[in-house]
Amino acid sequence: YNLNGNVGKVLIYLDINENGRYDEGTDTKVSDIASQVNIIALEQRYDYDLTEGFNFVSFPFLISGEEYRTAAGLLQKLNEIYNDSIYSISTFDGGKWKMVGQNVEIYDNNDFQLLPGVRYMIKAKEDVDISVVGQPIQYESVSDNAPITLYSGWNLIGLYGTNTKQYTAKTLIQDVNSSDFTADNVTQWTKDKQMYEGFQLSDGEEYGFDFTLNKLESYFVRITQGSGNWQPELSSNN
C-alpha cells in the first residue's frame, strides 16, 4: 500500500481480482478481517530547515540509497539538488570533530557512515530547506529497540524510533540516571542565535531552562559516570 502525505481517509483492501480498484462484493476490506491495523511507513520524507552557519541534526531513519548513507555521499547529493548550499557534514567522535567537505571539496579519507543514534552537524552556506528520504526505525513495543551509545564525557546524540517517548532535557537526564549512568547536562544549539544553551540537573538543583527535544535535531549530553548502550522509553500513548 502506498500512502503519500496527508490524504485523509484511506480505504485499504485486498485486490482479489487484481484490477487496481476496489470492487464491492469481490475485493475484501481489511477492516472486515481485522479489529486494528497498524501501518508502518517503508519510506518517509524528512524536512530540515537549515540556517546559514551550524545546524545540529539527527537522522532518525535509515537513509534511502546505500550511496547516500555516508557523509560524503549525502553531501554530494544535497549539493547537486540544492545548488552547492552545504559546506560540510561533521560528527563528534571520541571527543573530537570529524568533518567531511569544506567549500566544494570532499575528503573521502575522513568519510563516515550516517547512522541513527549518532548525530551530526551540517554547516550551510545560506538558509536552505532540504529533504532527506529514509525508512523510519520501528520501535513500537518492548520487543523492539532503539539504543543510544553513551560514553563518559560529552556525547552528541539524538532520539529515534517510531514510538520513542517525547523527552525534554530534564526527563532525558532523569531517565538516563535511572539506568546504569549518571548524566547532569543536556545542551542544545539554537540556530537563530548560533549559540549553545544548556539545562543542568545536579544534586536536585536545576540550572537553565528546560526544553523539548526534537527527533530531527541533536543534543550534547554530559555523562559523569557509566558507558554503554542506553535504551529510551516507549511512549505511553500506544
Task: Indicate whether 171 pLDDT > 70.
Answer: yes
Average pLDDT over residues 207-236: 94
d(CA 84, CA 199): 35
- How high is the mean pLDDT of the chain? 87
Please report, as a single letter, which amino acid is at residue 147.
Answer: P
Grid coordinates representing 182 are 549518571
pTM of the model: 0.78
**What pLDDT is stored for residue 125 in this prediction?**
94
**What pLDDT is stored for residue 4 in this prediction?**
53
| 175-179: long-range pairs with CB below 8 Å, 24+ | 175/232, 175/233, 176/150, 176/221, 176/223, 176/230, 179/226, 179/230, 179/231
How many residues are listed for the chain in this entry?
238
Question: What is the DSSP-derived secondary structure letter of residue 206?
Answer: E
Range in 13-27, 50-64, 83-97, 210-224 the model is least confident about = 13-27
Tell me the per-residue pLDDT of 112-151, one tens digit each, with 9 for 90 and over: 999 887 889 999 999 999 999 999 988 888 888 889 999 9
d(CA 175, CA 232): 8
Task: Indicate whether 108 pLDDT > 70.
Answer: no
Pairing of strands 96-100, 86-93: antiparallel
The model's confidence at residue 178, banded by pLDDT at 50, 70 and 90, is: very high
Tell me the per-residue pLDDT of 41-75, one tens digit each, with 9 for 90 and over: 678 899 999 999 999 999 999 999 999 999 999 99
**What pLDDT is stored for residue 88 in this prediction?**
94
Q: Could you give the percent of the chain with pLDDT greater than 70? A: 87
